[in-house]
Amino acid sequence: MMFTTMAGGVASAAAACVLGVGLGACVAPAGAAAETSAAVRVMVKLAHGSEDADAIAAEATRIAGIRVTHAAATSSSWHALAVHCASAAQCDEAIARMRAAAAVYVVVESEGRKARSTS
Amino acid sequence: MRRILICAGVAAASWLAPIGARTPLAQNVPAAASPDTTARVIVKFRAESSLLRKQALSAAGQQTLQAAGLGQRIGVALDSGRGLDERSHVVIGHGLTSRQLAARIAAQSDVEYAVADERKHIVAVPNDPLYAPTTAPARGPAVGQWYLKPPPPAGSASAAWGSTAPAAINAEQAWDVTQGNLSIVVAVLDTGVRFDHPDLQGGNVLPGYDMISADSGNVFTTANDGDGRDSDASDPGDFVSSAEATASCGRSSSSWHGTQTLSLIGGATHNGVGMASVSHGGVRVMPVRVLGKCGGYDSDIVAGIRWAAGLPVPGLPDNPTPARVINMSLGGEVACEQSYIDVLGQVNAAGVTVVASAGNSAGHAVSSPASCPGVIAVAAVRHIGTKVGFSDIGPQIAISAPGGNCINDTGACLYPIVAASNSGTTTPVPGPPGAIYTDSFNYSLGTSFSSPLVAGAVALMLSVQPTLTPAQVKAKLQSTARPFPTSGGTAGIPVCMAATGVDQLECYCTTSTCGAGMLDVAAAVQSVNGVQASIALTTTTPTANQAIALASNSALNAGQSIVSYVWTILNAGTSGATITGARDGAAVVVTPTAAGVFVIELATTDNKGFFSSTTLAVTVVGPPVPPASTPPAATPSGDGGGGALGVGWLMLLLSAVFALAGVSHLERRRAARAVSGSVRAVRKR
């Protein structure tokens, strides 16, 4: 099993997102719906590939212990999920539970954003 | 089409010779003159030459005699070619090059001059108005599209550079070899494109795809087009209003960044409009929209990489025109993520070359995805070849290319990169008023523009040699890159150092900070424009004392053929391998006498005179071991021994153990002798 080494990355991003000061891990940039202000996006690599977004979200919700929605698929293995948490601590705990589910997730890493490379 | 004939000054084969260092890959160099080489020389005799004595012959007859007489003197049979005037005509010889023949003839005292009668090459200088130098009050750069032109001679004074500069990428000369191949598709993962721009009307812009999904539910703030992933890759604008701005994503006008980067790679060229592109508009370009307001999500970028390469993405139609090259002028300030590592490995395996910009943090570490394995990371250099202030650097950088630099703090930017754009500050402005270009007064700078120059170069390389793998492309780009300057920069600038978290502005590039050198498109294209030697091992399990079949699997372009094969065992090792039979055919048979590794070389020459060689290391296993119930039977082997536990096997095993243990070569030989002796001793018992 391979796990990302960004153990603190998701939590930090989550905290930033929950505090409303960062875009990186939030499900929407500022100005988006208020309900998204307390959600963190993660990329997960499934141990067993699937394209069933609803089933992936349901299983993630069960494992995380809080609501998780499917954000986007990149392949049958890799999916972006939005973890809807009320606080940074809750985000950390939820994501830690997902990371612990090694039989389900090979990798759980923070989903970041990229920007154009103009100065 | 306006074309200018220039005197190339060298023979066709020589002109096409690669520039720069050799690589471990197949090497590609012009072959030496062979007996069927034809030499053509223009010779002008001095007025007093005895060979000009009038004979009662026609002009052609006299020239035939002159050629014959001249040939007798220099020991080469010469035919007479076209006459130029009373004292000048072409002579033709065989078995040496035109230059060699010219040198011999020129040594004759009654010859005024003798020069090789060379092929002239058509240099396609595009008629796009922004390509040429412009003068005030035009907004275009005074040096035009300086970065696409041949660089000035090394060491020349800056006053003589004209509309070029040392960091220019020499695309113009590459266009003599190829102006692209429409079978090559370059995907541009960016903000989408303005399809209505007049310089994108060359018929080579594919529809592409909009990969930006919802931020959440029905919120499409990033996408800014009211919907999620769909087939409309047009750029609606990525402006960020005051209300949308945050600490990490400030208010900004729309960038039209995807239109800019795509136009650099594949904008219509020689159409009398606007600008020229690296590929001369001869490859297809495909926008894949992954960036919107405040950039884009990793999941959309990774999905875009997959879709561009022709790999399936759940819920989306397959890409009908998979790309061979992906350009990503984007990045984030983190190390390479596992999701990128995975997808880049997959697309590389599918033969897709990925090019990405280093980032613009002023000399800090390279950002992802440029920092990822399997990516050709591109840093930016100033017009003189020093690192431009904004560019990031590091050991992941493969090569550098211009990213634009202004020199002036105010007024016209002197060395900008020209790109197609739109005048809209929020939504696009349609029609002619909206279609603009970045120029000396409306400029964009960044590694965003260095990366497309390399991606376009890769597309041209693949246009002449579609079989190149991503690793070969990278190696050829690097081996043909021109060295960085070590002087001539702004006074007092340092040598670039490894990124430490402190800004590094202009500095002298090194190969550990800015890659192998400065991009030279012509050299890169020329390096792959010929036979590419490759060996296929057709025997599944090479075994001692059995014939091993190898065959040429060399790549050729249309109209090319291999005229010569030479197979050579470079190192037989312990295998005792020798070539059995002919060594000059398309295939060869090698018979080893023991286990071990042998290295074989294939050298090929094509009908254009290009030479290419490659090597292959073949591991030979020992003869099959008889079943344990069978009494040991002595079998011959290369060292005179044999038996149930072959010496060759033991030697191979020992070599592997030593290799793992890091045992020195001398120690290995000593131990091998000991084992060999002990095995023989066992047999004697």
Tell me which chain A residues have a C-beta less than 8 angstroms from the C-beta of B294. Answer: 23, 29, 113, 115
At B288, give phi and psi (nearest 5°): -125, 110
In the predicted model, is pLDDT for residue A83 greater than 60?
Answer: yes
Rounded distance, CA B661 to CA B644, Å? 27
pLDDT of residue B222: 97
Over B600-649, what HEC string results?
Answer: EEEEEEECCCEEEEEEEEEEEECCCCCCCCCCCCCCCCCCCCCCCCCHHH
Task: Name the CA dihedral angle for B155, B161, B165, B171, rounded to a multiple of 10 degrees.
Answer: -110
CB B192 within 8 A of CB B258: yes
CB A62 within 8 A of CB A103: no
Tell me which chain A residues have a C-beta less than 8 angstroms from the C-beta of B293. Answer: 29
- Residue B650, sorted as left (phi over 0), alpha (psi -120 to 50) or beta, turns out to be alpha
Could you tell me if residue A68 is inside a domain?
yes
Nearest-CB residue to A117 (from B247, B311, B329): B329
Tell me which chain A residues have a C-beta less than 8 angstroms from the C-beta of B299. Answer: 41, 43, 71-74, 78-80, 111
Rounded distance, CA B654 to CA A22, Å? 58
Could you tell me if residue A118 is inside a domain?
no
The sign one gets for the Cα dihedral B289, B293, B214, A62 is positive
pLDDT of residue B555: 86
Tell me which chain B residues have a C-beta less than 8 angstroms from the C-beta of A23. Answer: 246, 248-249, 294
Q: Is B332 within 8 Å of A114 when comparing Cβ atoms?
A: yes
Q: Output the CA–CA distances (angstroms, integers) from residue B597 to B374, B587, B658, in the order listed.
A: 29, 19, 15
Could you tell me if residue A119 is inside a domain?
no
Q: Is A32 within 8 Å of B219 when comparing Cβ atoms?
A: yes
Residue A43 β-bridge partners: A80, A109
pLDDT of residue B261: 98
* Mutation choice for A interface testing from B338, B355, B506 by most A CBs within 10 A: B338
Residues 6+ apart with CB under 8 A from B679: B641, B643, B645, B647, B650
- B190 in catalytic set: yes
pLDDT of residue B119: 61
Domain of A62 in residue numbering reads as 7-110
Pairing of strands B38-45, B4-6: unpaired
In the predicted model, is pLDDT for residue A69 greater than 90?
Answer: yes
Nearest-CB residue to B295 (from A27, A32, A114): A114
Nearest-CB residue to B216 (from A4, A27, A78): A27
Tokens 């300086």 belong to residue: B146
Inform me whether the C-beta atom of residue A55 falls under 8 Å from chain B C-beta atoms: no
pLDDT of residue B672: 36
Could you tell me if residue A76 is inside a domain?
yes
Q: Is B296 within 8 Å of A114 when comparing Cβ atoms?
A: yes
Nearest-CB residue to A71 (from B213, B311, B451): B213
Inform me whether the C-beta atom of residue A112 falls under 8 Å from chain B C-beta atoms: yes
Tokens 């294209």 belong to residue: B525
Q: Is B299 within 8 Å of A39 when comparing Cβ atoms?
A: no
Nearest-CB residue to B248 (from A22, A109, A119): A22
Interface predicted TM-score (ipTM) over 0.90: no
Could you tell me if residue A115 is inside a domain?
no
Residue of A nearest to B216 (CA): A27
CB B437 within 8 A of CB B418: yes
Q: What total number of domains does chain A contain? A: 1
At B507, give phi and psi (nearest 5°): -155, 165
Residue B329 in tokens = 């002028």
* Mutation choice for A interface testing from B211, B227, B242, B339 by most A CBs within 10 A: B339
pLDDT, tens digit (0-9, with 9 covering 90-100), for B574-594: 999 999 999 999 999 999 999
pLDDT band at A10 (very low <50, low <70, confident <90, very high): very low
Could you tell me if residue A117 is inside a domain?
no
Tell me the shortest Cα–Cα distance from A100 to chain B, in angstroms: 17
Residue B315 in tokens = 């819920």
Q: Output the CA–CA distances (angstroms, integers) from residue B114 to B42, B51, B89, B602, B636, in the order listed.
A: 6, 15, 10, 38, 64
Residue B187 in tokens = 């995907």
User: Which domains are seen in chain B, by residue range?
Assistant: 32-121 (3.30.70), 535-620 (2.60.40.10), 647-684 (no CATH)
Q: Is B314 within 8 Å of A24 when comparing Cβ atoms?
A: no
The low-confidence residues of chain B, meaning pLDDT below 70, are: 1-36, 54-57, 118-123, 136-137, 628-685
Pairing of strands B548-552, B587-591: antiparallel
Tell me the shortest Cα–Cα distance from A72 to chain B, in angstroms: 7
pLDDT, tens digit (0-9, with 9 covering 90-100), for A13-67: 444 443 333 333 444 443 333 333 469 999 999 999 999 999 999 999 999 999 9
Could you tell me if residue A11 is inside a domain?
yes
pLDDT of residue A35: 38
Pairing of strands B353-357, B375-381: parallel
At A59, give phi and psi (nearest 5°): -70, -40
Residue of A nearest to B314 (CA): A75
Question: Could you tell me the pTM of the whole model?
Answer: 0.72
What average pLDDT does this structure show over A85-112?
97
Inform me whether the C-beta atom of residue A117 falls under 8 Å from chain B C-beta atoms: yes
Could you tell me if residue A88 is inside a domain?
yes
In the predicted model, is pLDDT for residue A77 greater than 60?
Answer: yes
Interface A-B, measured as beta-carbon pairs within 8 A, has a size of 183
**What does the angle CA B332 – CA B336 – CA B339 come to, to the nearest 5 degrees?**
105
Rounded distance, CA B537 to CA B547, Å? 12
Residue B169 in tokens = 């990428």
Active-site residue, from B254, B255, B421, B448: B448
pLDDT of residue B126: 95
Active-site residue, from B117, B128, B176, B190: B190
